Amino acid sequence: MDLEEKQKETSWYDNPGLVTTLIISLISLIIILSQSFAINNNLSAISIFRNILNHNIIYLISLVYFVSLKTRTGKKYFDFSNLFMVILHFITFLTSILTVLQSFSLVTLLGLVLHALLFVYMFHTFLRGTRLWKEFSLEKSPFNELNNEWYFSAIVIIVVILLAVNLISTTTFDGTVLALLDSIYVILFSRYIYLYRAYLDSKNKQKIKIDEEKDTSDE
C-alpha cells in the first residue's frame, strides 16, 4: 500500500457512519444491561418500568434519533431531529441544575458542567445552517470563539474526571459497568457532534473559497 492510499484512509473515530453504528450498539447494550441488572436485583415490574422512564428515557430517544439517521425519512428531517435533540439536552441541563440545588456534591457539579458543555456544543453546531441561526444572528455568539477541538477535548476531560469519581464512590459491579458505558456513550456522542461540526466548517470554507474565486474572475 503506497503513501497516497494511506492518506486516504479514515480512522474509525473520523468515520460518521461507523461512529453512529457504535452509538446505536452501545445504547442498546446500556438499555439491555440496565434492565438485566434491575431484574437480577429482584425489582418489581413497576420499579423496572420507572427505571426505564428515569434512567433510560434519554437513551431511548437518542436511539430513535440515531436509528432514524440510517433511514431516508430521518435524513430528510435531519434539521428537525437536531432541534429536538437540542431541546432535549436543554431540559437535561435544567434538570442537572435542580439536582445540584437539591444535592450538592462533586458528582452533581461535574454532571452540571458536562450537561452545560454538551448543550452549548450542540446548540452552536446543530443549529448552523438553519433559519434560526440566521434570524437570531447566532454567528455573533461568543461561544463560537471556542473551536471544535476545544469543545471535544473539554467534554472528554470532564467525562474522565466524572468517571473516576463515580468509580471511587460506586460500590456495586452494576454501577461500575453502567458508569463506564455511560462515559463511553458521552464521548462517542460528542465525537459525533465534532464530526458534524467539522463537516459544516469544511463546507463553509469551501463556499468562501468559491466566492473568492468568483470575485477574482469578475474583476
Q: What is the pLDDT of residues 63-118, one digit of tens each?
A: 999 999 999 888 888 989 999 999 999 999 998 999 899 888 899 999 999 999 99
Chain-centroid distance, C-alpha 6: 29
Q: Label residue 4 by pLDDT band (50, 70, 90).
A: very low
- Per-residue pLDDT tens digits for 31-47: 888 877 766 665 555 55
Write the DSSP string, 68-117: HTTSHHHHHTHHHHHHHHHHHHHHHHHHHHHHHHHS--HHHHHHHHHHHH
Percent of the chain at pLDDT exceeding 90: 42
Please write the tens of the pLDDT for every residue from 142-198. 888 889 999 999 999 999 999 999 888 877 888 888 889 999 999 999 999 999 999
Specify the pLDDT at position 208.
60
Q: What would the grid cell of residue 29 be?
A: 447494550
